[in-house]
Amino acid sequence: QVQLVESGGGLVQAGGSLRLSCAASGRALSTNAMGWFRQAPGKEREFVGAVGWSGGNTYYADSVKGRFTISRDIAENTMYLQMNSLRPEDTAVYYCAAGTYYRSGYNPPYVPRYWGQGTQVTVSS
């Protein structure tokens, strides 16, 4: 069983930056990566990116490549999402997840199994 707790959301102006954290307790043997998703009002939940438990491999959705960076602090068992050059369309509830990244056969390539409670990010224009 894995428990995930996000923090760091808030209100920021367009062009600004924000860093989200996801603290994990435990690690489910059936998972190989932690990930981020987001859900804007009236839209489906969208894959943002993922990082392997070892922190060595990262994967991003095209919509955030070059602006968002995912990292892991293994000692703290925490994942981070550094968001730069934020846009109003990045406004959403951001969810942390623990699950499995697949090199092929899945779109998006990450299947979550455990979820955090979510944290709101609002980008004003």
Identify any residues that bridge with 124 across adjacent strands, giving them in sequence order.
Answer: 13
Reply yes or no on whether the pLDDT at 18 is more than 90: yes
Q: What is the pLDDT of residue 82?
A: 98
Residues 75-99 have a mean pLDDT of 96
Identify any residues that bridge with 90 across adjacent strands, giving them in sequence order.
Answer: none
- pLDDT tens digit string along 92-104? 999 999 999 998 8
- pLDDT tens digit string along 27-77? 777 888 999 999 999 999 999 999 988 887 899 999 999 999 999 998 999
Q: What is the pLDDT of residue 8?
A: 96
Q: What is the pLDDT of residue 104?
A: 86
User: What's the token pair of residue 124?
Assistant: 């004003």
User: What's the token pair of residue 106?
Assistant: 């899945």
